[in-house]
Structure 1
Amino acid sequence: MGALGDLLSLIGTPLYYAISAVLVGWHWLFTTIGMNPDGGMTWALSIIGLTLVIRALLIPLFVKQIKSSRNMQLLQPKVRALQEKYKHDREKLAAETMNLYKETGTNPFASCLPLIVQMPIFITLFHLLNEASRDSVPHGFLNADLAASFGSATLFGSIPLAGSFWDYGVWRPEGELSVMLLALFLVLAMTATTFFTQRQLMAKNMPADAMSGPYAQQQKMLLYILPVAFGVGGVAFPIGVLLYWTTSNLWTMGQQFYVIRNNPAPGTPAFTAKEKRDAAKAARHGHAPAVAAGDTQVVEAPRPAQRQQPKRQTREQRRKQGNQSSQASSADADNNNGGS
């Protein structure tokens, strides 16, 4: 463990300071406005605040993930064409597929970036809470007093933030039903939000031709594998960590809903729905509505031109105009007589 331990310490120490700084900052804010510094709700809200800060910092990665996922969807017809062309040459297929991704600036692994970046944060928070609850071990800006407060904090008077379904349901036969119920609720919430986030992406923001092939199969597998994996592992997570992960999932679901609604991929149900909303909005403001996909444009018959009404004239103007007309008629008659 010598070299490996040094490496983990080198990576973990900056994370301990960064995460504890945000956590302690939120705790100071809630304490300043009058909340109990040792209360479980104060620390729970601090964990939620930590989650919001981390997810806000990860927005650029999320945007990159969305762009990569969209490019992967739109490239599926070309990928299938390559698979058909080089179906007997796997090396050539792999090379041509990577060239296609490179030419279009698509990174097939970018969709995992937010999850990969969050895992060290998740593990660090787990150790902060776990060690604070067991031995009041300080890390980073979480000093000994704050670590003791964090480790012993309870929700609703008897539910420790450091408690888990596994600890209270397996290792303690007498158990505490309230701890198990809250932990189970958060595990189910974490599992459900993971499922619906992935389901939302597949149902609304994937073109019909991208619903088949290896990429679609991968997405379908993730749709069921990820929630099950988080659900099984979640029974061993402390309530404070489950609170972080559930809040993060809710952020992801809302953020993805906003992006899909306002900037959907072409050829998807979300894109069709946005076109219809834009057409309805244009019609409400009196503009010519754009024709949404699948709709038939109704062409109105042209209206007849309105007859221009003559301008009103005074009696003097009408008399002068009459005299001029009479003189013109006399001149025409004389010309005709002269010509005959």
Structure 2
Amino acid sequence: MSFITDPLVYYPISGILWFWHKIFAFLGGFLPWVDSPDSSGAIWALSVIFLVVTLRILLFWPAAKQIRFSRKMQEMQPRMKELQKRYKNDREKLATETRKLQKSEGFNPVLGCLPMFIQIPVFLGLFHVLRSFNRMGNNFGALGMTAEETRNTGNYVFNADEVQSFLDARLFGAPLSSFISQPIDQFQAFVDPGAALDFERWNIILVAIPLMIVSAVTTHLNARISLSRQSPEAAANPQAKIMNQLMLWAFPIGILVTGAFWPMAILVYMVTNNLWTLGQQYYLFEKMAKEDDVAALKRREEQKSLAPKVGVKPVKPKKVRGVATGTAVASEDSVAGGPSDLDDDEAVVAPGVVPTPSPGSAPRPGQRPQQPGGQRTRPAQKSGGGSSKSKKKKRKR
């Protein structure tokens, strides 16, 4: 795997660290109180800090996508549960409907998980590069070198002289590449061959323990801030409860336990990374909260524009009824001579004229239905001759 990790992870990370070390060493040369800036612990610590800052800036967009991914999952959770209840006996249909829901919501689980998969190799690569400055011992990442060999072996883009300047760097009296549980015989890598040690284990403990505590506390705070944005439905999930407890307590305690095996530079990285995460979460959550407020205000404005105005009775459109030819009917505009307040489809009938419905139209209330084929006419009376009753009266007389 070295043919993949070396060019893609280890060399880029060591190159960024090398760049910042050169910048700060150059600037430190102008400061009279900085002795030998190339091997100054403060210079190397700043280089590690800005290495973290550079990597987190490059990973800012994936981190924002990860947070939006989590929020989208929480929003979709109720609808996902509905689908699971509806198609609990049909897995194929459930999978199809789930994909439809994800597509309609613009949700891509692959892209959502991608930021996490990017950050993991970056962290492991940074740990490996910082650990590789001292390759004594037989633990993970070490090559079992002697003190002289490790001081004369390059570390990716760093040559042997630059490795020696890192090993000679001291942060409050403790070597940056040392750790609390490190065997004493490996301390020889931090001084020139045959030279006496200029530090003891308690120097490492005094610097490492505060860094471990700050790292554990900031890890707990990051978890608490992240979980505070979790929906009640998601928090009620049994699996989510277990994961939440791990994030709140197990991970910070794990840092306190395993911190004794971490080089000092890794602890500097952890503190810087957690502080950056605190600020980044605050910024992103506030930004997303403002976006939600703007979206909610826009929805309210749309609903308000569709609602009827206060004091105005909503008008329902009326259907236009046909009128027979020959009746005196005029529109409002023709009677009044201009536009009116009535609907355009309403008509005004001249006084004294009864409108006759057109063939096929619905009869008006109280009116007998009309046979198709035109207007109904009364039968004509016969001319001349009286009725049958008048004839009978004449005969009696």
How many Å apart are 1:55 and its aligned residue? Answer: 0.3
Q: What is the match of residue 166 of structure 1? A: 181
Partner AA of 2:176 in structure 1: L
- Are 1:251 and 2:276 counterparts? yes
1:122-145 CA distance string (max 9 Å, x none): 333333333323413313321111
For the Cα contact (< 8 Å) 1:151–1:162, is it kept in 2? yes
Equivalence map 1:53-64=2 (5 Å): 53-64=54-65
Counterpart for residue 318 of structure 1: none
1:101 aligns with 2:116: no
Supply the distance in 1 between the matched residues of 2:254 and 2:129 (Cα, whole angstroms): 23
Cα distance change on mapping 1:94 and 1:238 into 2, 3 Å: farther
**Which of the residues 285, 288, 309 maps onto 1:260?**
285
Letter in 1 for 2:208: A
Instruction: Give the Cα separation in 1 of the matches to 2:96 and 2:239.
Output: 17
Aligned residues with identical type, % of pairs: 35
Where does residue 327 of structure 1 map in the other structure?
Answer: none
Query: Gapped runs of 5+ residues in structure 1?
Result: 1-6, 280-289, 292-340
* Paired letter, 1:255: Q
Distance in 2 (CA, whole Å) between partners of 1:105 and 1:16 is 35
Q: Residue in 2 aligned with 1:184?
A: 209
Deviation, 1:32, is 1.2
Aligned partner letter, 1:242: L
Cα distance in 1, alignment partners of residues 99 and 134 from structure 2:
48
The aligned amino acid for 1:234 is: G
Alignment of 1:242 with 2:267, yes or no, is: yes
Q: If you compute each CA radius of gyration, which structure gives the higher value, 1 or 2?
A: 2
In structure 1, the partner of 2:237 is: 213
Q: Contact conserved, 1:74 with 1:210, CA < 8 A, in 2?
A: no
Matched residues, number: 263
Calculate the TM-score normalised by the size of structure 1: 0.66
- Whether 1:8 and 2:9 are equivalent positions in the alignment is no
Report the AA paired with residue 100 of structure 1: L
CA distance in 2 between partners of 1:227 and 1:109 (Å): 29
The amino acid that maps onto 1:141 is V
**CA-to-partner distance for each residue in 1:264-321, whole Å, 9 max, x for gaps?**
299xxxx7xx79xxx9xxxxxxxxxx99xxxxxxxxxxxxxxxxxxxxxxxxxxxxxx
The question of whether the paired residues in 2 share the 8 Å contact of 1:166 and 1:236 is answered with yes
Local SS of the residue matching 2:134: helix
Matched, 1:19 2:13: yes
Which one has more relative contact order, counting CA pairs under 8 Å at least 6 apart? 1
Please name the residue that 2:195 is paired with.
none
Measured in 1, the distance between the counterparts of 2:242 and 2:97 equals: 20
Which residue of structure 2 lines up, in the alignment, with residue 148 of structure 1? 164
Instruction: Name the counterpart of 1:197.
Output: 222
Query: CA 1:263/1:75 → structure 2, altered by over 3 Å: closer, same or farther?
Result: same
Task: In structure 1, give the amino acid aligned to 2:117.
Answer: I
Query: 2:367 is matched with which residue?
Result: none
Structure 1 residue runs of 4 or more that deviate by more than 6 Å after TM superposition: none
Displacement of 1:248? 1.2
Identify the residue that residue 86 of structure 2 maps to in structure 1: 85
Larger helix fraction of residues: 1
Please, which runs of 5 or more residues in structure 2 have no aligned partner? 29-33, 136-149, 188-198, 302-397
Tell me the equivalent position of 1:304: none
Q: Offset of 1:77 from its aligned partner?
A: 1.0
Q: Hey, what does 2:342 align to over in structure 1?
A: none
* C-alpha deviation, 1:99, in angstroms: 4.9
Query: In the aligned structure 2, how far is the partner of 1:177 from the partner of 1:90?
Result: 61
User: 1:32: which partner in 2?
Assistant: 26
Shift of 1:232: 3.8
Q: Which moved more, 1:50-59 or 1:184-193?
A: 184-193
Q: Are the structure 2 counterparts of residues 123 and 211 from structure 1 closer, same or farther at C-alpha, using a change threshold of 3 Å?
A: closer
* Cα distance, 1:235–1:52 mapped onto 2, change above 3 Å: same
Whether the aligned pair in 1 keeps the contact of 2:180 and 2:201 (CA below 8 Å) is no
Deviation at 1:194, TM superposition (A): 2.1
